Structure 1
Amino acid sequence: MTGSDIPSSFRLAYVPGVTPTKWVRVWHERLPDTPLELVQATAADAPGLLADGGADAGLVRLPVDRDVLAAIPLYTETTVVVIPKDHVATAAEEVSLAELADEIVLHPLDDVLDWETLPGRPAVERPATTADAIELVAAGVGVLLVPQSLARLHHRKDLTYRPVPETPESRVALSWPQADEAPDLVEEFIGIVRGRTVNSTRGRAATPQRPTDKAKEKAKEKAKGKRAGTGGGQGGARHKPAAGRK
Structure 2
Amino acid sequence: MDVDLRKLRYFVAVAEESHFGRAAERLHITQPVLSRQIRALEHELGAQLFTRGKQSTEMTAAGHQLLEDARPLLAAAQALGRRVQRAAHGGSTFTVGFMPGITVTGAVRDFTARHPELDVQVVRTSWDTQVQAVHEGLLDVSFVRLPVERRGLTLRPVFREPRVAVLPSHHRLAGKSSISIADLAAERLLQDPDAVPEWRDLPDRTSDDEARARPAFDTVEEKLEHVATSGGFLVLPLSTAAYYTHTGVARVPVDDIGPNEVCLTWSAARHSALISEFVGIVAAQR
Q: TM (normalized to structure 2)?
A: 0.57
Find 2:195's aligned residue among 112, 118, 124.
112
Residues 105 and 120 in structure 1, CA contact (< 8 A), matched pair in contact too:
no
Residues 1:126 and 2:210 are matched in the alignment: no
- Structure 1 letter corresponding to 2:248: D
Q: CA deviation at 1:175?
A: 0.6
Residues 1:163 and 2:253 are matched in the alignment: yes
Q: CA deviation at 1:30?
A: 3.2
Residues 1:49 and 2:139 are matched in the alignment: no
Cα pair distance change 1:67/1:7, threshold 3 Å: farther
Report the number of matched residues. Answer: 192
RMSD across aligned positions (CA): 3.1
Give the alignment of 1:165-184 within 5 angstroms: 165-167=255-257, 169-179=259-269, 182-184=271-273
Q: Deviations over 1:109-128 (max 9, x none)?
A: 49733354265634554222
Q: Deviations over 1:176-213 (max 9, x none)?
A: 1114x7311111211111116xxxxxxxxxxxxxxxxx
Residues 113 and 146 in structure 1, CA contact (< 8 A), matched pair in contact too:
no
Residues 106 and 142 in structure 1, CA contact (< 8 A), matched pair in contact too:
yes
Q: CA deviation at 1:22?
A: 2.4
Moved more, 151-160 or 67-76: 151-160
Find 2:179's aligned residue among 83, 89, 95.
95
Q: TM (normalized to structure 1)?
A: 0.65
Find 2:233's aligned residue among 124, 127, 143.
143
Q: CA deviation at 1:169?
A: 4.2
- Structure 2 Cα separation of the partners of residues 170 and 161 of structure 1: 16
Larger-gyration structure (1/2):
1
In structure 2, runs of 5+ residues without a counterpart are 1-86
Greater fraction helix: 2
- Structure 2 letter corresponding to 1:159: V
